[in-house]
Chain A
């Protein structure tokens, strides 16, 4: 029986069946036959499959987005029952750099990060270096994520790194970047810790960092 619920949760998510996934989540809440943690683990497993389907080009952005939305709603039902509460894997600060108003990619990353169990502080788009530094100061995140789609604004990333150094915060936070304008090489020269070619890779990287 308990296995059935977990299977339903996973398969509904992978079939993009919002109703089915929510019904399974409600069952977990009401019947208490399976531990909430197990259900959360099932969601997380399903999301890994979603991620690899997307990375392999089997799934497209709409599917990635909708699976993310289903996971978000399911987690909305499950996380209040978890002992650690939502965001137990640690805090991440995320924003799109100054001058850049692209936010689709950033929002997908944030949604997946939340569903994976991270607490995310979303600074929005067009975020200047000062605001990134202040947010790191105030929230002590273990990771800082920056999105950048324009080559004309990639210098902002370098600026944030420099300002974090000046504020004595660079050693306290790991930095991950993503977005159409960026590459692995850029990440190296900019002095950040990781570049993610897509949101799912990004989640894997920060999960690794958090030890989760």
Chain B
């Protein structure tokens, strides 16, 4: 059996030759370590007079951006192949470099949805990027923003289409690259405004919120279509709906604001005969039944530090969802001992592997995730994951 058959069997709740293992590799730090490459200090180069000017110019050209982004994920896939993963996610985004006096480097990325992404340095010197705030505080600002960005959305969709397709063409013989349509509708609606501001809008301007959600749903469907053109049978989508102790919003409110959108998403994926796996961090027990109801085929993450346990999830949803996860990235995959990693893999397979419908992975990416631990994880998966399971 090859990696593709293994993933598809798991997605159909069938037992393959063994439990498949998926990588969530994307951080340049991890890629550099695995491929033994020297980190590129973009942040430092930005500050240099000539280099800085050149990078600032190049980063805002579609040509360079596409190459750079493709290069990052080609690196992720090469790393995942080298380590022996059956699959790895691939994610695209489009950013514009802007002057940002508030930011540590004086520069930040703005994404087409209206978020500011702070540029920083990971400990090894490679670039680290993180969403920090939104650019659209008011209704007027949001309207003006999306109007102005219309051509960018078109470019984005076009780039997405090429990006995933090219990665599948280049690496699809050696690994299963699963395209991830992210950020999702929930995050694209609140993050450009900030959580507090968006919460106020929910209570004070429900019509406006509906307009935002409708707009983002429409855009997301196009995005998803573009990702699905890669030809791969599984697509990831996602939104962090949870925090440490439970959903960010009352499940009924999520249903009211986003239920239809998520149903449309699942339907669209199924129309194309593909499967939809949903990524959400945090504690999401209270949403599992909704995921089934909306038509999702699987979920990925199930963050242990937020109390998510594969056994409990399986007990709650049975084989109505494929489970992908959930080794801890806060300690286990950073500093855990070989024995601890081995035990965690064994437990995960024991809790979720029976009857197929399970893909082993970490619960998230993190620049500190140690490639050695990823190797251990794969070794242990080969040891305990053979069907019929003996754990």
Using Cβ atoms and an 8 Å threshold, which residues of chain B touch A60?
246-250, 253
Check B305 against A126 for contact (C-beta < 8 Å): no
Using Cβ atoms and an 8 Å threshold, which residues of chain B touch A63?
250
User: Residue B196 contacts which of A107, A152, A197 (CB distance < 8 angstroms)?
Assistant: A107
Using Cβ atoms and an 8 Å threshold, which residues of chain B touch A198?
245
Main DSSP-derived SS at the B contact region: mixed
Distance in Å: Cβ of B27 to nearest Cβ of chain A: 11
Using Cβ atoms and an 8 Å threshold, which residues of chain A touch B366?
152
User: What residue in chain B is nearest A60 (Cβ atoms)?
Assistant: B250
Q: Does B65 contact A (CB under 8 A)?
A: no
User: Residue A16 contacts which of B203, B249, B331, B334 (CB distance < 8 angstroms)?
Assistant: B203
Distance in Å: Cβ of B387 to nearest Cβ of chain A: 34
Using Cβ atoms and an 8 Å threshold, which residues of chain B touch A59?
250
Q: Does B204 contact A (CB under 8 A)?
A: yes
Check A66 against B203 for contact (C-beta < 8 Å): yes
Check A61 against B243 for contact (C-beta < 8 Å): yes
Give the docked Cα–Cα distance between A125 and B104 (Å): 11
Q: Does A82 contact B (CB under 8 A)?
A: no
B187-221 vs A, Cβ < 8 Å mask (1 yes, 0 no): 00000000110011011100000000000000000
B74-85 vs A, Cβ < 8 Å mask (1 yes, 0 no): 000000000000
Give the docked Cα–Cα distance between A16 and B204 (Å): 11
Check A65 against B244 for contact (C-beta < 8 Å): no
Using Cβ atoms and an 8 Å threshold, which residues of chain B touch A197?
245
Distance in Å: Cβ of B189 to nearest Cβ of chain A: 13
User: What residue in chain A is nearest B366 (Cβ atoms)?
Assistant: A152
* CB neighbors of B among A102-140 (8 A): 103-104, 107, 111, 125-126
Give the docked Cα–Cα distance between A69 and B197 (Å): 9
Give the docked Cα–Cα distance between A151 and B247 (Å): 21
With A16-B203, A69-B196, A107-B196 known to touch, is A62 a contact of B248 (CB < 8 Å)? yes
Using Cβ atoms and an 8 Å threshold, which residues of chain A touch B104?
126
Distance in Å: Cβ of B266 to nearest Cβ of chain A: 24
Give the docked Cα–Cα distance between A18 and B200 (Å): 10
User: How many residues belonging to B are interface residues under a CB distance threshold of 8 Å?
Assistant: 30
Give the docked Cα–Cα distance between A16 and B366 (Å): 38
Give the docked Cα–Cα distance between A57 and B200 (Å): 21
User: What residue in chain A is nearest B249 (Cβ atoms)?
Assistant: A62
Check B199 against A180 for contact (C-beta < 8 Å): no
Check A180 against B203 for contact (C-beta < 8 Å): no
Q: Does A101 contact B (CB under 8 A)?
A: yes
Check A151 against B331 for contact (C-beta < 8 Å): yes
Using Cβ atoms and an 8 Å threshold, which residues of chain A touch B204?
18
Q: Does B368 contact A (CB under 8 A)?
A: yes
Check B118 against A101 for contact (C-beta < 8 Å): yes
User: What residue in chain A is nearest B282 (Cβ atoms)?
Assistant: A180
Give the docked Cα–Cα distance between A13 and B331 (Å): 41
* CB neighbors of A among B85-135 (8 A): 104, 118, 120, 130-132
User: Residue A62 contacts which of B120, B132, B245, B253 (CB distance < 8 angstroms)?
Assistant: B253
Give the docked Cα–Cα distance between A59 and B245 (Å): 11
Q: Does B62 contact A (CB under 8 A)?
A: no
Distance in Å: Cβ of B208 to nearest Cβ of chain A: 16
Check A65 against B132 for contact (C-beta < 8 Å): no
A-B contact pairs, 12 of them (CB 8 A): A18-B203, A18-B204, A60-B247, A60-B249, A61-B243, A61-B248, A69-B196, A103-B132, A126-B118, A151-B334, A152-B366, A197-B245
A-B contact sample (10 more), CB < 8 A, given A61-B195, A103-B132, A111-B196: A60-B248, A62-B249, A66-B199, A69-B196, A69-B200, A101-B131, A101-B132, A126-B118, A151-B330, A198-B245
